[in-house]
C-alpha cells in the first residue's frame, strides 16, 4: 500500500482558513514575490501565525525568519513556495517531510513549459506523504473568512460575496483589479495554475459550504477529471449561482474523429451543453461574468416569465426588445392589463404597449409612477428601466429616482435592472448607484443581459433534475463480446458483434440470419418476414454492391431463391476464388424518422451522449445535441426536443407522432453502456429508425480501447 492510500487527505478548509502559514523563499527585498506574499499576509489582517523561511535568517515584517522549514515548531497548515524552479522540488520535499498540509507552489517552470515529468514527481512526492498541492504556477490564494491574502497582488483585495477560481494567473490578477474598480468584493480568489493536484472540484467543495460566498465565478481553459468536476458543479449550482468563463474554442482534431459523436461538434459545443446541464451560466465576456455575479449574488429571482420594459425613449426601447430576444427575456403582452397599469404614467403620445414608452417628457415622478406598476401588479414579474438623458428630466433627480424604485422592487421581491444612457452627469449618477450595489448599467444590452442571467437561473431552477437514470443491460454478455474482439486483435466491432452488444442492451435490431443455400435463405426470409434484403458474406468481397452481392426488397420465397442464384453467380464472376461464407438475409427496415444516437468517453467531459438527425446527411445537417451521460429520462427528453428536426418526431404536417419515449430509452441505454463498460470508448447507432411505436437500430458502430 502506498502512503497516499494510507493517509487521509487534509481538510480543504485548512487551505482557505489556515491557523499557521510558512513562506519558503520569504524575502526582505521589496519587489520580490517572496516579499509581496509576506507583506500581503501581514497587512491583510491575517490572525494566524506566519513563519518566513530563508537560509539567511533575520526578521521579515517583525517575524523571526527560520532557516529551514523543519525547524518551525508545531503543525503547518499552508506553506507557500516562492523559490526558483530548480529549488522548488527540494522545498516541496522539506514541506512534505515536515507534514505541511497544503503546499502552494507559486513557482513557474513546470508542465506549462513542458516539464510535466518534474512536476508530476514533485507533486507525487507530496501527495504520497499526505500533503495536497495547489499549483504550481500560481499567484496564490485569498480567503476573506480568514482575512488570508497569500497572493502577490499589488493592492488590497476587497472582501465580499463573490468567490473566483481562475486557471489563468495573469487574468486572475487583472480580475482582482477589476473587482476593486467594479466595487465587487471577494469571498475568495484561487489561482489554480497547472492543477497538478488540487483542482476546481476541490475548491468548489469549499465554496459551496462557505457562507460568505453568494456567487461563484470560474475561469477555465481545460477541464481535468470531468466526471467529478461536473458532479461538484451540479452540487454547487443547486445552492449558489455559478458563472463560467470558458475559453479555448473547439479544436476538432482534439476529438477522436473516428465516430460522428466525436467529429460532429467541437469540444466547446459539448462543453457549452454540459455546463448548462449542470446549471452553470456561461458568460462570453469578462464584463458579463462580473455583471452577472454582481447581480445574481443578491437580486431576487423572478417568479414568472412576464417582464416589462419602461422607457422614456422609443429607440432604446426597441434596442432592449432586441436584446430581450437575444438573452431570453420574455415580454409581458396582455394589452388590457398593460393599458390599465400604465395609463396614468403615460401621456397620450406615449405607449402602454410593452416596451412602455412614458416619452421624453417624463420626469422622476412619472418614472416612480410607471415603475410602481410592475412592482405591484401580480401578473408582472420583473422590470427593465431605461433612461435616456433629456432636457426635461433633471439628472440630479436620477439617483433618487433609481434608489427609490429599486427599494420598492426589493420590498416586492421582484428583480429590476436599469440602463442609464447619456453624458457625464448620467455616467456620474450611474457610478454612484453602482457603488450602492444597484444593478445599473450604461448600456441597454448590459441591463438586459443581467435580467437574462436571472431568467436563465430561474429556468434552470424550474427544470432542475438531479436524477440519473440507467437501463438494465447484460454487462457480462457485452464484456464477453469485447474479449473476443480483443483476442482477434481489433479495436472495432464487426456488424454481428455490434448487434450482439445491442441485444445485450435490449435494443431492437432488424432480424437477420446467415444461410448457405437457396432453400435455407427462403426459410430464413419466411421466419424474418417479407420483404427482405440479401447480402453476400465474404471476407474476400469488401464492396458487396460492386460485386452484385446485394439484392433489395425481395417479397416472396421464389424471389429469394432466384436472388440466391443471382448473387452467387455475380460474386463468382466478380472474384473467381472468393470464399463465400453464406448469404445474410436481413429484414428490410420500413421507413420512419432517421436519428443518430451516440455516446463516447470524452477526454475532458467524461462520458457524453449525443442525439440528432441521422441518416447519410448527419455531417451536413449537424442537427445534434449533447449531454453528460449522467442524465435523467427527463433531461434526455429535453435534449431530444432541442434538435431542429424534433417537429418531425412530434408529428409535423399531419403525420402521427413518433415514439419519442423509445428514443429516450435508447439514449439511456447508450448512456448506461458508455458509463458501465470501461473498454467501450465510442458507440453509435445511425440510423435509429423511429416509428409510431418503437425504434429499430439499423447500423451500429462500436470502438474499444485496445
Query: By the criterion CB under 6 A, which residues form the site for ligand COA?
Result: 24-25, 27-29, 32-34, 53-56, 82-85, 87, 91, 106-109, 137-139, 169, 191
For 299, 626, 642, the CA distances from 464, given in Å and listed in that order, are 20, 17, 16
Report the DSSP beta bridge partners of residue 210.
none
Q: Give whichever of 85 and 663 is closer to ligand COA, judged by the CB atom.
A: 85
Q: Give whichever of 148 and 574 is closer to ligand COA, judged by the CB atom.
A: 148
d(CA 303, CA 380): 9
Least distance in angstroms from the C-beta of 137 to ligand COA: 5
- How does strand 63-64 pair with strand 59-60? antiparallel
Least distance in angstroms from the C-beta of 55 to ligand COA: 5
CA angle 671, 675, 677 (to 5 degrees): 115
Q: Give whichever of 27 and 450 is closer to ligand COA, judged by the CB atom.
A: 27
d(CA 538, CA 519): 19
Least distance in angstroms from the C-beta of 207 to ligand COA: 20
Nearest CA among 288, 246, 613, 666 for reference residue 447: 288
What one-character-per-residue DSSP string does 502-547 give?
Answer: HHHTT-----EEEESSHHHHHHHHHHH-SSEEEEEE-TT-S-TTTT
Cβ distance 350 to 357 under 8 Å? yes
DSSP state for residue 155 in the 8-state scheme: S
Least distance in angstroms from the C-beta of 197 to ligand COA: 16
How many other CB atoms are there within 10 angstroms of residue 316's CB atom?
Answer: 21
Least distance in angstroms from the C-beta of 82 to ligand COA: 5
Cis peptide before 136 (omega within 30 of 0): yes
Cβ distance 67 to 24 under 8 Å? no
Least distance in angstroms from the C-beta of 118 to ligand COA: 13
How many other CB atoms are there within 10 angstroms of residue 585's CB atom?
Answer: 27
- How does strand 606-613 pair with strand 593-602? antiparallel
170 by Cβ neighbours in 10 Å (0-12 / 13-18 / 19+) ranks as exposed
Written as nine digits, the cell of 413 is 421581491
Q: Give whichever of 57 and 678 is closer to ligand COA, judged by the CB atom.
A: 57
Least distance in angstroms from the C-beta of 120 to ligand COA: 18
d(CA 646, CA 657): 10
Least distance in angstroms from the C-beta of 665 to ligand COA: 48
Least distance in angstroms from the C-beta of 32 to ligand COA: 4
Least distance in angstroms from the C-beta of 72 to ligand COA: 12
| Residue indicated by cell numbers 489563468 | 168
| Residue indicated by cell numbers 522540488 | 89
Would you call 395 helix, strand, or coil by DSSP?
coil
Least distance in angstroms from the C-beta of 40 to ligand COA: 14
How many other CB atoms are there within 10 angstroms of residue 549's CB atom?
Answer: 24
d(CA 356, CA 351): 6
Least distance in angstroms from the C-beta of 145 to ligand COA: 23
Q: Give whichever of 167 and 213 is closer to ligand COA, judged by the CB atom.
A: 167
Determine if residue 399 is left, alpha or beta; phi over 0 gives left, psi from -120 to 50 gives alpha, anything else beta. alpha
d(CA 633, CA 332): 32
Q: Give whichever of 149 and 191 is closer to ligand COA, judged by the CB atom.
A: 191
Q: Give whichever of 24 and 448 is closer to ligand COA, judged by the CB atom.
A: 24
By beta carbon distance, the residue nearest ligand COA is 169
d(CA 418, CA 584): 70
Least distance in angstroms from the C-beta of 62 to ligand COA: 16
Q: Give whichever of 56 and 555 is closer to ligand COA, judged by the CB atom.
A: 56
Q: Give whichever of 36 and 628 is closer to ligand COA, judged by the CB atom.
A: 36
Nearest CA among 260, 282, 285 for reference residue 272: 282
Q: Give whichever of 120 and 410 is closer to ligand COA, judged by the CB atom.
A: 120
Least distance in angstroms from the C-beta of 58 to ligand COA: 9
Q: Give whichever of 79 and 668 is closer to ligand COA, judged by the CB atom.
A: 79
Cis peptide before 687 (omega within 30 of 0): yes
Q: Give whichever of 34 and 226 is closer to ligand COA, judged by the CB atom.
A: 34
Q: Give whichever of 174 and 427 is closer to ligand COA, judged by the CB atom.
A: 174
Going across the sheet that includes 532-537, the strands are 512-515, 582-587, 532-537, 550-554
Least distance in angstroms from the C-beta of 199 to ligand COA: 16
CA-CA-CA-CA dihedral for 523, 529, 531, 533, to nearest 10? -60
Q: Give whichever of 110 and 206 is closer to ligand COA, judged by the CB atom.
A: 110
Question: Directed axis angle between helix 660-676 and helix 633-641, to 10°?
Answer: 120
Cα R_g (the chain), whole angstroms: 32
Q: Give whichever of 55 and 378 is closer to ligand COA, judged by the CB atom.
A: 55
d(CA 345, CA 3): 73
Least distance in angstroms from the C-beta of 490 to ligand COA: 46
CA-based diameter of the chain, in Å?
A: 102
Q: Give whichever of 25 and 350 is closer to ligand COA, judged by the CB atom.
A: 25
Residues in the chain: 706
Amino acid at each position: 500500500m502506498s502512503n497516499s492510500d494510507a493517509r487521509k487527505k487534509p481538510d480543504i478548509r485548512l487551505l482557505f482558513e489556515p491557523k499557521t502559514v510558512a513562506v519558503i523563499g520569504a524575502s526582505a527585498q521589496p519587489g520580490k514575490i517572496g516579499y509581496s506574499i509576506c507583506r500581503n499576509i501581514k497587512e491583510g489582517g491575517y490572525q494566524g501565525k506566519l513563519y518566513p523561511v530563508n537560509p539567511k535568517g533575520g526578521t521579515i515584517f517583525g517575524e523571526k525568519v527560520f532557516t529551514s522549514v523543519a525547524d518551525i515548531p508545531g503543525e503547518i497548515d499552508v506553506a507557500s513556495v516562492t523559490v526558483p524552479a530548480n529549488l522548488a522540488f527540494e522545498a516541496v520535499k522539506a514541506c512534505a517531510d515536515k507534514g505541511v498540509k497544503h503546499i502552494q507552489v507559486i513557482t513557474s517552470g513546470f508542465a506549462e513549459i513542458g516539464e510535466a515529468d518534474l512536476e508530476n514527481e514533485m507533486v507525487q512526492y507530496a501527495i504520497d506523504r499526505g500533503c495536497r498541492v495547489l499549483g504550481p504556477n500560481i499567484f496564490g490564494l485569498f480567503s476573506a473568512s480568514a482575512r488570508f491574502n497569500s497572493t502577490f497582488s499589488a493592492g488590497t483585495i476587497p472582501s465580499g460575496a463573490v468567490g473566483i477560481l481562475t486557471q489563468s494567473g495573469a487574468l486572475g490578477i487583472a480580475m482582482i483589479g477589476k473587482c476593486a474598480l467594479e466595487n465587487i468584493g471577494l469571498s475568495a480568489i484561487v489561482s489554480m495554475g497547472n492543477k497538478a493536484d488540487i483542482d476546481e472540484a476541490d475548491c468548489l467543495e469549499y465554496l459551496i459550504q462557505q457562507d460568505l460566498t453568494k456567487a461563484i465565478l470560474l475561469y477555465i481553459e481545460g477541464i481535468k477529471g470531468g466526471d467529478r468536476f461536473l458532479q461538484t458543479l451540479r452540487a454547487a449550482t443547486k445552492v449558489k449561482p455559478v458563472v463560467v468563463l470558458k475559453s479555448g474554442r473547439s479544436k476538432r482534431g482534439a476529438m477522436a474523429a473516428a465516430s460522428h459523436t466525436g467529429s460532429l461538434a467541437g469540444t466547446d459545443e459539448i462543453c457549452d451543453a454540459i455546463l448548462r446541464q449542470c446549471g452553470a451560466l456561461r458568460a462570453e465576456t469578462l464584463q458579463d461574468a462580473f455583471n452577472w455575479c454582481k447581480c445574481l449574488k443578491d437580486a431576487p429571482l423572478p417568479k414568472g416569465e412576464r417582464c416589462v420594459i419602461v422607457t422614456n425613449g422609443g429607440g432604446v426601447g426597441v434596442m432592449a426588445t432586441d436584446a430581450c430576444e437575444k438573452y431570453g427575456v420574455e415580454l409581458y403582452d396582455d394589452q388590457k392589463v398593460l393599458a390599465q397599469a400604465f395609463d396614468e404614467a403615460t401621456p397620450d403620445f406615449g405607449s402602454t404597449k410593452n416596451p412602455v414608452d412614458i416619452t421624453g417628457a417624463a420626469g422622476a415622478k412619472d418614472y416612480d409612477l410607471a415603475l410602481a406598476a410592475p412592482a405591484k401588479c401580480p401578473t408582472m414579474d420583473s422590470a427593465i428601466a431605461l433612461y435616456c438623458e433629456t432636457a426635461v428630466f433633471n439628472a440630479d433627480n436620477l439617483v433618487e429616482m433609481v434608489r427609490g424604485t429599486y427599494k420598492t422592487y426589493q420590498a416586492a421581491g421582484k428583480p429590476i435592472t436599469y440602463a442609464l444612457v447619456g453624458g457625464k452627469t448620467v455616467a456620474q449618477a450611474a457610478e454612484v448607484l453602482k457603488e450602492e450595489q444597484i444593478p445599473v448599467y450604461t448600456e441597454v444590452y448590459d441591463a438586459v443581459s443581467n435580467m437574462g442571467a436571472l431568467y436563465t437561473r430561474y429556468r434552470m431552477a424550474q427544470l432542475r433534475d438531479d436524477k440519473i437514470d440507467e437501463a438494465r443491460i447484460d454487462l457480462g454478455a457485452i464484456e464477453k463480446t469485447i474479449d473476443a474482439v480483443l483476442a482477434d486483435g481489433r479495436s472495432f466491432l464487426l456488424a454481428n458483434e455490434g448487434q450482439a452488444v445491442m441485444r445485450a442492451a435490449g435494443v431492437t435490431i432488424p432480424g437477420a440470419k446467415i444461410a448457405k443455400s437457396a432453400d435455407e435463405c427462403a426459410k430464413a426470409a419466411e421466419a424474418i418476414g417479407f420483404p427482405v434484403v440479401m447480402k453476400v458474406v465474404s471476407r474476400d468481397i469488401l464492396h458487396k454492391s460492386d460485386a452484385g452481392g446485394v439484392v433489395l426488397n425481395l417479397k416472396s420465397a421464389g424471389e429469394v431463391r432466384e436472388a440466391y442464384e443471382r448473387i452467387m453467380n455475380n460474386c463468382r464472376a466478380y472474384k473467381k476464388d472468393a470464399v463465400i461464407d453464406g448469404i445474410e438475409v436481413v429484414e428490410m427496415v420500413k421507413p420512419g424518422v432517421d436519428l443518430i444516437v451516440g455516446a463516447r468517453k470524452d477526454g475532458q467531459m467524461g462520458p457524453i451522449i449525443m442525439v440528432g438527425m441521422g441518416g447519410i446527411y448527419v455531417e451536413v445537417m449537424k442537427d445534434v445535441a449533447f449531454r453528460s451521460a449522467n442524465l435523467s429520462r427527463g433531461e434526455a427528453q429535453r435534449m431530444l426536443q432541442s434538435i431542429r428536426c424534433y417537429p418531425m418526431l412530434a408529428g409535423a404536417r399531419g403525420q402521427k407522432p413518433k415514439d419519442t419515449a423509445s428514443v429516450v430509452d435508447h439514449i439511456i441505454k447508450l448512456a448506461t453502456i458508455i458509463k458501465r463498460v470501461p473498454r467501450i470508448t465510442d458507440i453509435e447507432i445511425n440510423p435509429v429508425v423511429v416509428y409510431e411505436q418503437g425504434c429499430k437500430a439499423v447500423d451500429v458502430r462500436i470502438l474499444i480501447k485496445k
